[in-house]
């Protein structure tokens, strides 16, 4: 589950998910919504490989979103769902499905401000602030 | 949570210990009413966090237009020791060298007869691409050599394309070129994002504004700046576009990964930093300065397009006699000498404001002081200020940069209807061109603090003095 939280500067994404992989999946759905795409796997007709590296889970999530935002800005590709995802301590390798179009280049940057990715009870909680 | 202590009529302090790890106090220039507005968001906490940076000197400072940002507050100033302090990309911000350039036309408002005001604003909107997609992304200046722009700033446009003039370069902060810039330090992704964007305005709070001078406070300084009552001006507010954002993104990540190596602990990862003389610090300065040069070239290219619009309405002679008053950055970090110390002054949403006779301002302005431009909201007013001596002792030669955001974009969209706002502005005699009602609503006057009060505080504090007030008569929103 994700939600967009009002933020004085820009927008803040909060994610609650059952596992670490699901956090990355929810981030894809949230970004697709922000960019105006429908997170529906049946409509996805294009596939991209995404690989990001960072020092820890919060930074990996920021890198993940930054890569997806760049694909939207540079290639018009909006990821709508995760097809495959592998992760280790400092990397995520994934195949994502999505749509091609002219998404609004809303996301100027993915910040580290109040960045979080941590266990919360039996689930995981993550937070990312986007500069839009 | 915080209880700022009053130091004097315009200065408040959060003492060391307000948050763990503070090395110096945090100080805010404000009066009681502005402070109450400032306390509505997390900007004071962010300012106190800035005071934890290694090598930070004297105090983490905030101007009266401070509001919550990412890591650093917008309106924040932090000077770090050049020898053993750090440099922080978050202390500059994503839009490196976001800034403002003021052009003064050889025309008065009274000479805009009939529908010429609307035609001029319309022509400006046709000539200068706005927004982050479509025209705003694709209609950048053709023929510009990106490496030379990154290295030389607007001088590259002058030498290669005949855009601008030596006068314009001399009336630009730092001559429009930070000499430590290294194009090779700018990533391929940053280049890709910025290559087609020279001469484009962008989105968010970026704008072009056609204005008339409604009040003159300092006749001598106004005369030095070539300004007079009733004169038309164009204010350009833009920055380094996607290129600057990517440079910041790249180095926040890179420095964050090295924090443990340098033994740096921070309360917010967006404050990520590295010693100025470390490999990461040197590379960031080289890339940030290249992005700053790119931003000055961007505003120079926009100014060129503004002159084309003026020429199409009033003829080439009017465009040629339109002079550049100055161009100032309000998101940048620079090595400067203050009170005998070489320091790295981070200005994030804050403007350099050097006083009369300072060696780094044009000789023509030596008696007046450095021009500073303070955009208000599109329905209120903007100001031309001049730097004053107290800025050198109180704020590392710095003053405010705008009115300061009061409401979030979401909150203001809930409170203001874009269509209604457009009608209200036009009823007040302001011609509006905006790509979306939503974007227009996000920049409504209600979203900002009172610019008159912000300017009054910096003047009372001796940081800068009012020269003229500018009333908007037309707005092209990014």
Closest-CA distance, A29 to chain B, in angstroms, reads 21
Least confident of A96-110, B307-321, B461-475: A96-110
Phi-psi region of B315 (alpha: psi -120 to 50; beta: other; left: phi over 0): left
What pLDDT score does B133 carry? Answer: 53
B401 is a catalytic site residue: yes
User: Any idea what the Cα angle at residue A10 is, between residues A8 and A15, rounded to 5°?
Assistant: 105
Which is it for strands B431-433 and B464-477: parallel, antiparallel or unpaired? parallel
C-alpha separations of A92 from A39, A51, A76, A78, B119 in Å: 21, 6, 22, 18, 53
**Contact across the interface for B249 and A73, Cβ inside 8 Å:** no
Q: Is residue B429 part of a domain?
A: no
Mutation target for B interface from A6, A112, A127, A132: give the one with most B CBs within 10 A.
A112
Residue extents of the structural domains in chain A: 2-131
CA distance B395 to B338: 10
Q: Is residue B440 part of a domain?
A: no
Q: Which two tokens stand for residue A117?
A: 């990715």
CA distance A111 to A100: 25
Q: What's the domain count of chain B?
A: 1
DSSP string, B331-348: EEEEEEEETTEEEEEEEE
> Which residue in the block uniquely carries the two structure tokens 């604003």?
B121
Residue in chain A lying closest to B269 (CA)? A112
pLDDT tens readout for residues B414-467: 888 888 889 999 999 899 998 888 888 888 888 888 999 999 999 999 999 999
State the Rg of chain A over Cα: 13
DSSP 8-state assignment for residue B337: E
Flag whether residue B67 sits within 8 Å of chain A, measured between CB atoms.
Answer: yes
Q: Is residue B263 part of a domain?
A: yes
Closest-CA distance, A79 to chain B, in angstroms, reads 18
Interface of A with B in 24-53 (CB under 8 A): none
Phi, psi torsion values for A79, nearest 5 degrees: -70, 135
Flag whether residue B200 sits within 8 Å of chain A, measured between CB atoms.
Answer: no
Mutation target for A interface from B205, B253, B268, B413: give the one with most A CBs within 10 A.
B253
CATH number at residue B106: 3.90.1860.10
Q: Is residue B246 part of a domain?
A: yes
**Contact across the interface for B248 and A129, Cβ inside 8 Å:** no
Q: Is residue B430 part of a domain?
A: no
Phi, psi torsion values for B21, nearest 5 degrees: 90, 0
Element of type H or E holding B38: helix B32-38
Q: Is residue B422 part of a domain?
A: no
Mutation target for B interface from A5, A103, A111: give the one with most B CBs within 10 A.
A111
Total residue count of chain A as it appears in this document: 132
Of the candidates A62, A66, A60, the residue with the CA atom closest to the CA atom of residue A79: A66
**Which residue segment(s) compose the domain that B269 sits in?**
5-406+448-477
Are the beta carbons of B330 and B240 closer than 8 angstroms?
Answer: no
DSSP string, B98-146: -EEEEEEEEEEGGG--TTHHHHHHHHHHHHS--SSSTHHHH-PPTT--H
pTM of the model: 0.94
ipTM, two decimals, is 0.88
Flag whether residue A127 sits within 8 Å of chain B, measured between CB atoms.
Answer: no
Total residue count of chain B as it appears in this document: 478
Chain B residues within an 8 Å CB radius of A114:
268, 270
**pLDDT of chain A along its 132 residues, tens only?**
999 987 666 789 999 999 999 999 999 999 999 998 776 666 668 999 999 999 999 999 999 999 999 999 989 999 999 999 999 999 999 999 999 988 887 889 999 999 999 999 999 999 999 998
Q: Which CATH number fits domain A2-131: 3.40.50.720, 3.30.830.10, 1.10.357.10, 3.55.10.10?
A: 3.55.10.10
Flag whether residue B41 sits within 8 Å of chain A, measured between CB atoms.
Answer: yes
Candidates B70, B74, B407; nearest CB to A111: B70
Q: Is residue B312 part of a domain?
A: yes
């Amino acid at each position: 589950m994700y939600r967009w939280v009002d933020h004085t500067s820009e927008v803040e994404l909060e994610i609650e998910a059952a596992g670490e992989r699901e956090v990355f999946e929810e981030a894809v759905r949230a970004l697709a919504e922000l960019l105006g795409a429908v997170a529906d796997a049946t409509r996805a007709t294009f596939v991209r490989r995404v690989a990001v590296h960072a020092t820890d889970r919060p930074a990996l999530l920021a890198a993940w979103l930054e890569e997806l935002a760049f694909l939207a800005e540079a290639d018009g590709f909006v990821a709508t769902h995760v097809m495959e995802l592998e992760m280790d301590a400092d990397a995520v390798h994934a195949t994502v499905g999505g749509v091609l179009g002219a998404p609004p280049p809303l996301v100027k940057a993915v910040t580290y401000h109040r960045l979080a990715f941590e266990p919360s009870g039996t689930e995981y909680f993550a937070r990312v602030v986007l500069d839009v | 949570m915080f209880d700022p202590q009053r130091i004097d009529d315009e200065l408040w302090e959060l003492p060391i210990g307000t948050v763990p790890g503070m090395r110096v106090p945090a100080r805010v220039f404000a009066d009681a009413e502005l402070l109450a507005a400032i306390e509505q968001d997390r900007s004071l906490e962010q300012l106190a966090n800035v005071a934890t940076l290694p090598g930070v000197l004297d105090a983490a400072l905030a101007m009266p237009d401070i509001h919550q940002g990412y890591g650093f507050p917008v309106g924040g100033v932090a000077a770090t020791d050049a020898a053993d302090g750090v440099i922080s990309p978050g202390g500059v911000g994503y839009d490196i060298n976001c800034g403002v350039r003021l052009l003064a036309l050889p025309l008065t408002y009274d000479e805009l007869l009939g529908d010429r005001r609307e035609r001029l604003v319309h022509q400006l909107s046709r000539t200068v691409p706005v927004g982050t997609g479509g025209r705003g992304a694709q209609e950048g200046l053709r023929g510009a050599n990106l490496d030379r722009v990154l290295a030389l700033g607007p001088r590259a446009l002058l030498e290669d394309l005949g855009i601008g003039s030596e006068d314009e370069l001399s009336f630009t902060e730092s001559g429009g070129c930070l000499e430590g810039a290294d194009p090779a330090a700018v990533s391929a992704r940053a280049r890709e994002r910025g290559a087609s964007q020279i001469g484009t305005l962008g989105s968010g709070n970026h704008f072009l504004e056609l204005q008339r001078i409604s009040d003159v406070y300092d006749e001598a300084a106004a005369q030095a700046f070539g300004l007079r009552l009733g004169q038309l001006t164009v204010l350009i507010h833009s920055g380094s576009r996607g290129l600057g954002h990517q440079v910041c993104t790249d180095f926040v990540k890179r420095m964050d990964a090295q924090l443990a190596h340098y033994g740096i602990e921070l309360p917010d990862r967006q404050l990520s930093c590295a010693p100025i003389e470390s490999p990461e610090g040197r590379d960031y300065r080289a890339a940030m300065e290249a992005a700053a040069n790119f931003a000055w070239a961007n505003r120079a290219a926009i100014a060129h397009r503004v002159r084309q619009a003026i020429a199409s309405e009033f003829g080439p002679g009017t465009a040629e006699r339109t002079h550049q008053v100055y161009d100032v950055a309000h998101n940048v970090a620079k090595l400067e000498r203050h009170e005998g110390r070489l320091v790295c002054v981070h200005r994030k949403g804050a403007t350099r404001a050097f006083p009369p006779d300072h060696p780094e301002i044009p000789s023509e302005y030596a008696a007046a002081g450095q021009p500073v431009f303070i955009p208000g909201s599109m329905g209120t007013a903007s100001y031309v200020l001049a730097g004053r001596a107290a800025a050198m002792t109180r704020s590392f030669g710095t003053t405010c940069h705008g009115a300061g955001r009061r409401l979030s974009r979401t909150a203001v969209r809930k409170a203001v209807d874009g269509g209604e706002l457009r009608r209200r502005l036009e009823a007040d005699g302001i011609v509006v061109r905006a790509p979306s009602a939503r974007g227009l609503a996000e920049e409504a006057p209600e979203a900002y603090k009172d610019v008159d009060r912000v300017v009054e505080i910096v003047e009372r504090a001796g940081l800068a003095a009012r020269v003229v007030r500018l009333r908007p008569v037309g707005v092209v929103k990014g």
